[in-house]
Amino acid sequence: MAKKIALLQGNEACAQGALYAGCNFFGGYPITPSTEVAEVMAGELPKIGGKFIQMEDEIGAMASIIGASLAGSKTLTASSGPGISLKQELIGYACIAEVPCVIINVMRGGPSTGMPTGPGQSDVMQARWGTHGDHAAIALCPASCQEIFTETVRAFNLAEKYRMPVQVLYDEIVGHMRERIVFPEPGELEVIDRTAPSVPPEKYKPFDTSFGDVPPLAAYGSDYRFHVTGLNKAEDGFPTTKAELVDAEERRQIRKVECPEARADIESNEEYLIDDAEVVVLAYGSTSRSARYAVNELREQGIKAGMFRPITLWPFPEQRVAQIGEQVKAIVVPEMNLGQMIFEVERVVKNSCKLAGVHRVDGDPLTPSQIIDQVKEVL
Amino acid sequence: MAYDYEKSIRPGKLPHIWCPGCGHGIVMKGLIRAMDACGLEKKNTAIVSGIGCASRMPGYLDFNTLHTAHGRAAAFATGIKMAKPEMTVICCGGDGDGAAIGGNHFIHACRRNIDMTYVLMNNYIYGMTGGQFSSSTPTGHLASTTPYGNPDPCFDLAKLAIGAGATFVARTTAFHANQIDKLIAEGIKHKGMAIIEVLDDCPTTYGRRNKFRSVVDMMKRLKEIAVPVTAAAKMTPEQLEGKTLTGVLHKEDRPEYCESYAKIIARVQGA
- Report angle CA B36, B41, B47 to the nearest 5 degrees: 80
Task: Confirm or reject contact between A113 and chain B (CB < 8 A).
Answer: no
A228–B65 C-beta distance less than 8 A: yes
- Of B166, B178, B133, residue with least CA distance to B151: B133
Task: Examine the pLDDT at A1 and tell me if it is beyond 70.
Answer: no
Instruction: pLDDT band for B260, please (50, 70, 90 cuts).
Output: very high
Quick one: pLDDT at residue B263? 98
**Any domain includes B1:** no
Q: Which domains does chain A have, with CATH numbers?
A: 5-182 (3.40.50.970), 201-264 (no CATH), 269-378 (3.40.50.920)
User: Which residues of B are less than 8 Å from A224 in CB distance?
Assistant: 43
Q: What is the 3-state secondary structure (H, E, C) of A176-237?
A: HCEEEEECCCCCCCCCCCCCCCCCCHHHCCCCCHHHCCCCCCCCCCCCCCCEEECCCECCCC
**Any domain includes B200:** yes
Task: Examine the pLDDT at B1 and tell me if it is beyond 80.
Answer: no
| Pairing assessment for the beta strands B244-251 and B132-133 based on DSSP bridges | unpaired
- Of A34, A32, A30, residue with least CA distance to A12: A34
B105–A220 C-beta distance less than 8 A: no
Q: Are B125 and B132 within 8 A, CB to CB? A: yes
Per-residue model confidence as pLDDT tens digits over B66-88? 999 999 999 999 999 999 999 99
B79–A25 C-beta distance less than 8 A: yes
Task: Confirm or reject contact between A16 and chain B (CB < 8 A).
Answer: no
Task: Confirm or reject contact between A169 and chain B (CB < 8 A).
Answer: no
Task: Confirm or reject contact between A319 and chain B (CB < 8 A).
Answer: no
Quick one: pLDDT at residue A251? 97
Q: Mean per-residue pLDDT for B214-235? A: 96
Which of B8, B41, B66 to mutate against chain A (most A CBs within 10 Å)? B66
User: Which residues of B are less than 8 Å from A65 in CB distance?
Assistant: 79
Alpha carbon of B56: minimum distance to chain A alpha carbons (Å): 10
B69–A230 C-beta distance less than 8 A: yes
The total number of structural domains that make up chain B: 1
**Any domain includes B8:** no
Q: Are A23 and A74 within 8 A, CB to CB? A: yes
Domain that holds residue B119: 13-270
Task: Confirm or reject contact between A212 and chain B (CB < 8 A).
Answer: no
Q: Are A339 and A366 within 8 A, CB to CB? A: no
Torsion (CA) A267, A273, A275, A277 in degrees, nearest 10: -110
A67–B78 C-beta distance less than 8 A: yes
A59–B48 C-beta distance less than 8 A: no
Per-residue model confidence as pLDDT tens digits over A109-167? 889 999 899 899 999 999 999 999 999 999 999 999 999 999 999 999 999 999 999 99
CATH of the domain at B196: 3.40.50.970
Task: Please give the biggest Cα pair distance in chain B.
Answer: 67
**Any domain includes B3:** no
Task: Give chain A's mean pLDDT.
Answer: 97
| CA dist., res. A324 & res. A326, Å (int) | 5
Of A69-73, B211-215, B232-236, B244-248, give the lowest mean pLDDT range. Answer: B211-215
User: Which residues of B are less than 8 Å from A51 in CB distance?
Assistant: 82-83, 261
Task: Examine the pLDDT at A275 and tell me if it is beyond 90.
Answer: yes
User: Which residues of A are less than 8 Å from B9 in CB distance?
Assistant: none
Instruction: pLDDT band for B271, please (50, 70, 90 cuts).
Output: low
Percent of chain B clearing pLDDT 70 (strictly above): 100
- Find, in chain A, the residue whose alpha carbon is nearest to that of B43: A221
pTM: 0.98
B46–A225 C-beta distance less than 8 A: no
Q: Which residues of B touch A (CB under 8 A)?
A: 10, 13, 42-44, 46, 48, 58-59, 62-69, 72, 75-80, 82-84, 86-87, 104-105, 107-108, 261, 264-265, 268-269
Looking at chain A from residue 34 to 53, which residues have their Cβ under 8 Å from any Cβ of chain B?
46-47, 49, 51, 53
Task: Confirm or reject contact between A54 and chain B (CB < 8 A).
Answer: no
- Of A147, A135, A136, residue with least CA distance to A171: A147
| CA dist., res. B102 & res. A223, Å (int) | 31
Q: Give the number of beta-carbon pairs within 8 Å between A and B.
A: 129
Which of B9, B53, B78 to mutate against chain A (most A CBs within 10 Å)? B78
Task: Confirm or reject contact between A75 and chain B (CB < 8 A).
Answer: yes
A64–B76 C-beta distance less than 8 A: yes
Per-residue model confidence as pLDDT tens digits over A238-263? 999 999 999 999 999 999 999 999 99
C-alpha dist (Å) from residue A37 to A77, A105, A184? 9, 11, 19
**Any domain includes B259:** yes
A229–B67 C-beta distance less than 8 A: yes
- Find, in chain A, the residue whose alpha carbon is nearest to that of B42: A225
CA quadruple B98, B103, B107, B113: dihedral positive or negative? negative
Quick one: pLDDT at residue A211? 87
Q: Are A60 and B105 within 8 A, CB to CB? A: yes
**Any domain includes B7:** no
User: Which residues of B are less than 8 Å from A25 in CB distance?
Assistant: 79, 82-83
| Pairing assessment for the beta strands A5-9 and B88-94 based on DSSP bridges | unpaired
Quick one: pLDDT at residue B153? 97
Instruction: pLDDT band for A2, please (50, 70, 90 cuts).
Output: confident
Decide: helix, strand or coil at residue B226.
strand
Quick one: pLDDT at residue A197? 97
Decide: helix, strand or coil at residue B53.
coil
**Any domain includes B53:** yes
Task: Examine the pLDDT at B120 and tell me if it is beyond 90.
Answer: yes
Residue A287's CB is within 10 A of a number of other CB atoms, namely 29
User: Which residues of B are less than 8 Å from A67 in CB distance?
Assistant: 48, 66, 75-80, 83
- One DSSP character per residue, A41-106 reads HHHHGGGGT-EEEE-SSHHHHHHHHHHHHHTT--EEEEE-HHHHHHHHHHHHHHHHHT--EEEEEE
User: Which residues of B are less than 8 Å from A205 in CB distance?
Assistant: none
Q: Prior bond to B147 cis, omega within 30?
A: no
**Any domain includes B115:** yes
Task: Confirm or reject contact between A295 and chain B (CB < 8 A).
Answer: no
| CA dist., res. B87 & res. A241, Å (int) | 32
Residue among A75, A220, A239 minimizing CB distance to B84: A220
Residue A91 backbone phi and psi in degrees, to 5: -65, -40
Alpha carbon of A293: minimum distance to chain B alpha carbons (Å): 45
Q: Are B77 and B89 within 8 A, CB to CB? A: yes
Task: Examine the pLDDT at A347 and tell me if it is beyond 70.
Answer: yes
Task: Confirm or reject contact between A94 and chain B (CB < 8 A).
Answer: no
Task: Give chain B's mean pLDDT.
Answer: 97
Residue among A60, A64, A220 minimizing CB distance to B64: A220
- Of B107, B95, B247, residue with least CA distance to B166: B107
Per-residue model confidence as pLDDT tens digits over B135-145? 999 999 999 99
Name the helix (H) or strand (E) containing B231. Answer: helix B229-232
Percent of chain B clearing pLDDT 90 (strictly above): 99
Residue among A67, A228, A229 minimizing CB distance to B77: A67
